[in-house]
Structure 1
Amino acid sequence: MPGTGRPVATPEAPSAYRSSLPWRLFDGLSTRIDRRYGWDRLPLPLGLAVLVGLRNELRKKNLHDANLLPSTGQPPIGPPPTSNDARTADGTYNDLDDPRMGMAGSRFGRNVALAAVDADPQRTMMEPSPREVSRRLLTRHEFAPATTVNAIVAAWLQFMIKDWFSHGPGDAAHAHQVPLSADDPWPEHPMAVPRIVPDPTRPAGAAGPPTSVNALTHWWDLSSIYGTTPEEAARFRTGEGGKLRIEPGGVVPLPADDPAHDPTREPGWWVGMGMLISLFALEHNAICDRLRADHPQWTDDQLFTCARLVNAAVVAKIHTVEWTPAVISHPITRVAMRANWFGIAGERLRRRFGRISASEVVSGIPGSPTNHYGVPYSLTEEFTSVYRMHPLVPDDYPVKSVATGETLRTYAFPELTGGHSRDVFFEVSLADLFYSFGTEYAGAIVLHNFPRGLQEFVRPDGRLMDLAAVDILRVRELGVPRYNDFRRQLRMKPAASFEELSDDAETVATLREVYGDVEKVDLMVGMFAEKRPKGFAFSDTAFRIFILMASRRLNSDRFFTKDYDARVYTEAGIEWIDDATMARVLLRHFPELAPALDPRANAFAPWHRP
């Protein structure tokens, strides 16, 4: 972008990030070793080295700026904040040279070359019918558990997505018409699915790949709690001591008499999301108390803005070093994800001596120099596509007493959604809910394991939807390549046959019947079908986007890089983040969980049942 003082990406040179000759040789060798042997089959030190090389290659070749496509102009921006030491509600002024970067209402980027994006997705949108894919390949007939992780994993992911991205409510007036077979029990033929709202910055009739904008900020700023406008942030605050509003029982307000501000009416709201939003609202208030003890003269605004920084960093750390290693529990990735935060020097050395190197590899990303790798920061359409992991959600939720272990009641998933959640929070304590989720398995992210309650899901506005079909349709609508082409863009070997996707003869036969040609297999279907590295709950294909974007969300954010220090966060704030784990956050607010939850354990692994 002109005037930013940073390298400018072009369609011919998508990333201006370049490395020295030794690094280029190392990166190329890493790619060849991975293609021949697989990073996950290597000894730990070599596997880690190969992942570093793969990430370097992804940074060079898989960051693409959608703002290079035709535009009518950029979204309007407000005046600079009075202090550069606080996040803005709409994500502006994170990058002070390019204050619009990552703001709410800005475009999603791409992880595949712009030329590889389907410029006319309508042409093959219904080939094959998304509903047929849903019925034949995704329907859950028997729950397949992921026995290494608990049901909090699914709730956490929804909590994160509400912070990261949204394409908006959809355009029902111009809905897609999904063809259905004659025997399909869906009540309306064809099935109507609202389109993604058109990009308001895209000239009408402009040629080229589709673009869309993020209704949320692209930054990892916990907007799921704080909102994306100053008005939302003000509504959530008490106005005293920097704190957020909390109802008796520790739950955030769910105002039934105020439909415009009732979160239970938002698509995607359910008990799991309410639990985590409430937990980290409580955490925010606890951080405020700690900051006020050191800074009794601070105003409400000063306490709020600093507590928000600390709270967002706690969540980012938990996701990086606990959630992700829990769902990709391979020895190499467990070390690699912790190294993203602490560096290979490790947590003990980092806490005792601070950073010993400017290198993110040695001392971790937090506190390292900000780096966009030549492409303005944004989340990407491919990132949103690989995070479609609804099979994590179980169908049934036994709610148990943490005091006795007794099952109080079993809820079906629809009974936990929308306005029903208000009744659940009234009937069941947060401690019992966390205990219940912690002692139940999440679902495995595989074919034939999509939650029943989401294949026939009634939204808060009364619209019936098959979310499995919608997931397939959305990825196509965004122009994201299908499975084999997607892997080619990541320099991975494509599947030569349906047999390479699955060892199950019945699944192979169904894939062949539905698609006919392995090149037509949808990205989500291919990722759910493919063989996984040991300990992985999701595919190696999705992992390639993760190792790129998980780092990028930290690398590009100055509040995780050059401004991650005691000057901005305070000494107490940095110490709070250093001490934080998911288990310690839970036990801070619900000490009655102690018999089931070891404070040293990963809280996303199945808990002990007393």
Structure 2
Amino acid sequence: MTKKRTARQRSGSGYRGSLPWRVVTGLAEYADRRAGWNHLAVTPGLLTLFGLRVRLRQNNLHDTTVLPSVGLPEPAPPSASHKVNRTADGSHNDLDEPRMGMAGTRFGRNIPLDRIVPATPEWVLSRPNPREVSRALLTRDELIPAESVNSLVAAWLQFMIRDWFSHGTSPTEQPWEVPLMDDDPWPERPMRIMRTPNDPTRDPQAPTGTPDTRVNVSSHWWDASQIYGTSEEEQLRMRNGTLGKLRLWDEQSMLPTDPDSDPSRVPGFWLGLAMMQNLFTREHNAICDHLHAAYPSWDDEELFQRARLVNAALLAKIHTVEWTPAVISHPTTVKALRANWWGIAGERVHNLFGRISESEVLSGIPGGATDHYGIPYSLTEEFVAVYRMHPLIRDDWHLRSAADNGTLGHCTFRDIAGPEALKVLKSTSMSDLLYSFGTLHPGLVTLHNFPKFLQGYERPDGQLQDLAATDILRSRELGVPRYNEFRRLLRLKPAETFEELTGNPAWAREIKRLYADDIEKVDLTVGMYAERLPAGFAFSDTAFRIFILMASRRLNSDRFFTEYYTPEVYSKAGMAWIDDNSMITVLLRHHPELRTALAGLDNAFVPWHTPRSSGTNG
């Protein structure tokens, strides 16, 4: 195992400020502004993205732990097991700074802390207020499909988000009160949107003007906490105590959860989330069987811990080299994302020789050196903001048989969300549900494409919520800059006119009218949804800039993906499982009846095959 270095030694100082790197980043910015990375050939486009990532690492990682704090979460005392096992709460990933990235610690920022806008009513509820934006610019009249992908991308994304971040349960007192227009049909006046919970670690004696912060109640690490929980107690409830395996909650739907609770009462529960939870709980158990066969002397605890590492790494691999290249399928980004995992040397070289260089560019991030780039690792509020992609979700769903593409039923999103989803799970096989999602297009992440049901969503607590309005309000409330300022802080050219912002003249007029001819007021979400999309993209280039930075950072900072990504920690059989598997092999292992639909495909997130006589994907 590589000798562990401290976070200070892993600061990225090798390229910070040096003349060669200033030249590289300067040329990358020039090429991007002059031509656009997406208009260059693949090789110069890759070099441009590489240079942009270096510049983003230099300028767009900001540490909120330096702000005054009290009552920080306390990690458990160090133990030998922390070196080779992920903890439930994410502590001890960095052995020198055990609190880094654990559940209950602050979100970081991709913008300077002094540019965080205070959450005053004048800012959060300024005209146009969030409900006005929702009605005028986000409401879907007809689905605008993302035709290069299937609806598993929407299910997968929420499944990942459940692992990455959560601001926690909103308090019911002092909600934001959003005034409504006279013609607004909302049943309550004013509209009430619950506030994001305050940071419990914020020092009440902090000087006036100290930037606001929030905490992530989930672990910041890519550790599959949506499957395994974020506390020892949760984790124990998930396990069945035999050969390292997890419980399967129901023999019919086989949902993974605490058998004493109802998963459908959890906010955000829907059919797609249940399907992914099911699939990768079963995958964990399959990994346990594989490891038990290879290492029959291992006990329940050892099997569980190694299987968890392997399952989490497989999820990260699938997201990096399959999901993301599917939703941003430009040739340059496909190459870049695969290079994140295998380096530009590629998968074939990796499979034959393993790492051939310490360089992440040549051999990829997994197995390389851990690097925090001088800033303690955390996910960021800007990362959360650009992942607000509810338009991916359809309103209408056509359930079909995997055997013959025959119609099983038609339903709306309302019919597959919350407790209603359990009825579908009990009446329809998981294979048919996966096939239905695999043969239906999701929505494009764009204006006028927000799911209608989510603009009038009844939460499990009975509260009615417009999630489109909430998305707009949340970015304002959390101090995420408006669109043009966001681009400036990412060293991107701001839009000077509404016509420059979007290639759709009708949208330009609508945005201009709603924002009273002031382009600086345009919300981040509106600007991103209105942008011209690079070829193959299902979401905006502005959002992609945060991904350039944070997609690699989640791997670079995590020692279980870098210095401890070794056979000594994962086991040889575990490492082979990660190398040998993909979303397609996972699907076929548990649902071999999907073989015809997946035949010949190399990515499970593109549209699946249907019989020739059945027509096109819906």
For Structure 1 versus Structure 2, the TM-score category normalised by the shorter chain is: over 0.9
How many angstroms apart in 1 are the aligned matches of 2:461 and 2:164?
A: 23
Q: Which residue of 2 aligns with 1:67?
A: 65
Q: Give the drift of 1:249.
A: 3.7
| Structure 2 residue matching 1:149: 3-state secondary structure | coil
How many angstroms apart in 1 are the aligned matches of 2:407 and 2:157?
A: 25
Cα deviation digits, residues 140-180 of structure 1 (max 9, x gap): 00111000010000000000000000001112212100111
Q: CA contact under 8 A between 1:91 and 1:217: conserved in structure 2? A: yes
Q: Which residue of 1 aligns with 2:327?
A: 327
Q: Give the drift of 1:8.
A: 11
Q: Which residue of 1 aligns with 2:609?
A: 608
Distance 1:567 1:8, change over 3 A: closer
| Structure 2 residue matching 1:335: 3-state secondary structure | helix
Distance 1:559 1:19, change over 3 A: farther
Q: CA contact under 8 A between 2:119 and 2:478: conserved in structure 1? A: no
Q: Which residue of 2 aligns with 1:282?
A: 282
Distance 1:505 1:69, change over 3 A: same
Q: CA contact under 8 A between 1:16 and 1:375: conserved in structure 2? A: no
Q: Which residue of 2 aligns with 1:480?
A: 480
- Is 1:569 matched with 2:567? no
Paired residue type of 2:530: A
Q: CA contact under 8 A between 1:220 and 1:316: conserved in structure 2? A: yes
| Structure 1 residue matching 2:398: 3-state secondary structure | strand
The residue correspondences of 1:405-484 to structure 2 (distance < 5 A) are 405-484=405-484
Paired residue type of 1:375: I
- Is 1:553 matched with 2:554? yes
| Structure 2 residue matching 1:88: 3-state secondary structure | coil
Q: CA contact under 8 A between 1:242 and 1:300: conserved in structure 2? A: yes
How many angstroms apart in 2 are the aligned matches of 1:482 and 1:8?
A: 36
Q: Which residue of 2 aligns with 1:159?
A: 159
Q: Which residue of 1 aligns with 2:110?
A: 111
Q: CA contact under 8 A between 1:16 and 1:374: conserved in structure 2? A: no
Q: Give the drift of 1:600.
A: 4.5
Paired residue type of 1:412: T
How many angstroms apart in 1 are the aligned matches of 2:102 and 2:20?
A: 36
Q: Which residue of 2 aligns with 1:372?
A: 372
Distance 1:578 1:209, change over 3 A: same
The residue correspondences of 1:133-532 to structure 2 (distance < 5 A) are 133-204=133-204, 206=206, 207-246=209-248, 247-249=250-252, 251-253=254-256, 258=260, 261-516=261-516, 517-532=518-533
How many angstroms apart in 2 are the aligned matches of 1:581 and 1:177?
A: 46
How many angstroms apart in 2 are the aligned matches of 1:570 and 1:317?
A: 17
Q: Which one is further off, 217-226 or 20-29?
A: 20-29
How many angstroms apart in 1 are the aligned matches of 2:504 and 2:255?
A: 46
Q: CA contact under 8 A between 1:400 and 1:433: conserved in structure 2? A: yes
| Structure 2 residue matching 1:436: 3-state secondary structure | helix
Cα deviation digits, residues 250-279 of structure 1 (max 9, x gap): 6225678x4xx3221111111100000110
Gap regions ≥5 residues in structure 2: 612-618
Give the TM-score normalised by the residue count of structure 1.
0.96
Q: Give the drift of 1:418.
A: 1.2
Cα deviation digits, residues 441-485 of structure 1 (max 9, x gap): 010000000000100111111111000000000000000100000
Q: Which residue of 1 aligns with 2:92?
A: 93
Cα deviation digits, residues 236-258 of structure 1 (max 9, x gap): 111000001113246225678x4
- Is 1:126 matched with 2:128? no
How many angstroms apart in 2 are the aligned matches of 1:147 and 1:188?
A: 37
How many angstroms apart in 1 are the aligned matches of 2:428 and 2:542?
A: 39
Q: CA contact under 8 A between 1:15 and 1:60: conserved in structure 2? A: no
| Structure 2 residue matching 1:385: 3-state secondary structure | helix
Paired residue type of 1:240: T
Q: Give the drift of 1:500.
A: 1.1
Paired residue type of 1:575: A
Cα deviation digits, residues 339-378 of structure 1 (max 9, x gap): 0000000000011101000000000000000000000000
| Structure 1 residue matching 2:598: 3-state secondary structure | coil
How many angstroms apart in 1 are the aligned matches of 2:251 and 2:172?
A: 38
How many angstroms apart in 2 are the aligned matches of 1:584 and 1:236?
A: 24
CA root-mean-square deviation = 1.7
Q: CA contact under 8 A between 1:168 and 1:215: conserved in structure 2? A: yes
Q: Give the drift of 1:17.
A: 7.0
How many angstroms apart in 1 are the aligned matches of 2:100 and 2:322?
A: 28
Gap regions ≥5 residues in structure 1: none
| Structure 1 residue matching 2:476: 3-state secondary structure | helix
Q: Which one is further off, 403-412 or 369-378?
A: 403-412
Paired residue type of 2:300: D
Paired residue type of 1:594: R
| Structure 1 residue matching 2:561: 3-state secondary structure | coil
Percent identity reads 58
Q: Give the drift of 1:599.
A: 6.1
How many angstroms apart in 2 are the aligned matches of 1:496 and 1:601?
A: 41
Q: Give the drift of 1:117.
A: 1.3
Paired residue type of 2:124: M
Distance 1:203 1:15, change over 3 A: farther
Q: CA contact under 8 A between 2:265 and 2:418: conserved in structure 1? A: yes
Q: CA contact under 8 A between 1:144 and 1:449: conserved in structure 2? A: yes
Q: CA contact under 8 A between 1:16 and 1:373: conserved in structure 2? A: no
Q: Give the drift of 1:225.
A: 0.5
Q: Which residue of 2 aligns with 1:27?
A: 25
Q: Give the drift of 1:135.
A: 0.1
Paired residue type of 1:212: R
How many angstroms apart in 2 are the aligned matches of 1:405 and 1:335?
A: 34
Paired residue type of 1:558: R
Cα deviation digits, residues 96-128 of structure 1 (max 9, x gap): 000000000000000011122113443311122
| Structure 2 residue matching 1:156: 3-state secondary structure | helix
How many angstroms apart in 2 are the aligned matches of 1:595 and 1:419?
A: 32
Count of residues in Structure 1 that have an aligned counterpart in Structure 2: 601
Q: Give the drift of 1:505.
A: 2.9
Q: Give the drift of 1:208.
A: 2.4
Paired residue type of 1:350: H
How many angstroms apart in 2 are the aligned matches of 1:133 and 1:421?
A: 30
Q: Give the drift of 1:82.
A: 4.0
Q: Which one is further off, 357-366 or 500-509?
A: 500-509
Q: CA contact under 8 A between 1:399 and 1:432: conserved in structure 2? A: yes
How many angstroms apart in 2 are the aligned matches of 1:535 and 1:253?
A: 34
Paired residue type of 1:233: Q
Q: Which residue of 1 aligns with 2:615?
A: none
